[in-house]
């Protein structure tokens, strides 16, 4: 079942880009967080539009009371680290590796990209999490990039 507005984010362990474990409780408790997921680091829309939009709009998003902006993908920590460096993310967005897809599965936002050799991936989405509870969720239709952009999140805030 897909997580929805009003639901608490389930407890899952993921990785920071330095390979240290972090739980969803540690990421979301006591904070207002914007999280967005991409199907894959270094993929066209993710690299050219989705991540750069949040990097560009980070200050405007934080000015709305957001403590942290998180990007997650079903990639390992080394790939997420390299992608962040390649895209010049700095400290604007926290990159989180969901290497096994545990977070995507727990949220009910995973899909199979096996037919094109991608394995399990996360759907493209953006959410606002306030103290561990979803207050806004925008899930993209397959192959779309409309409702989960930084601009859309700014409007939702």
pLDDT tens-digit readout, 42-87: 998 999 999 999 999 999 999 999 999 999 999 999 999 999 999 9
Residue 75: how many CB atoms within 10 A of its CB? 26
Place 99 in a pLDDT band, splitting at 50, 70 and 90.
very high
Q: With 80 as the cut, is the pLDDT of residue 117 above it?
A: no
- Rounded distance, CA 12 to CA 30, Å? 17
Determine the Cα–Cα distance for residues 25 and 10; give it in Å rounded to an integer. Answer: 8
pLDDT of residue 112: 84
pLDDT in tens, 4-52: 999 999 999 999 999 999 999 999 999 999 999 999 999 989 999 999 9
Global pTM?
A: 0.95
Active site residue 71: no
* Separation between Cα atoms, residue 124 and residue 145, nearest integer Å: 8
Q: Which residue among the candidates 3, 9, 37, 46 is catalytic per the annotation?
A: 46
- Domains, the chain, in order of start with CATH, read 13-156 (3.40.30.10)
pLDDT at 116 over 90: no
């Amino acid at each position: 079942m897909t997580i929805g507005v009003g639901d608490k984010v389930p407890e899952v362990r993921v990785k920071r880009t330095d390979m240290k474990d972090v739980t969803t409780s540690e990421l979301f408790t006591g904070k207002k967080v914007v999280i967005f997921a991409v199907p894959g680091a270094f993929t066209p829309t993710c690299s050219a539009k989705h991540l750069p939009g949040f990097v560009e709009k980070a200050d405007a998003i934080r000015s709305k009371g957001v403590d942290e902006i998180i990007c997650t993908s079903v990639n390992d920590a080394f790939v997420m680290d390299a992608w962040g460096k390649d895209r010049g993310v700095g400290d604007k967005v926290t990159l989180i590796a969901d290497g096994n897809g545990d977070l995507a599965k727990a949220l009910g936002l995973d899909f199979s990209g096996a037919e094109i050799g991608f394995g399990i991936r996360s759907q493209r989405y953006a959410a606002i999490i306030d103290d561990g509870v979803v207050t806004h969720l925008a899930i993209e239709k397959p192959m779309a990039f409309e409702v989960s952009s930084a601009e859309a999140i700014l409007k939702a805030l």
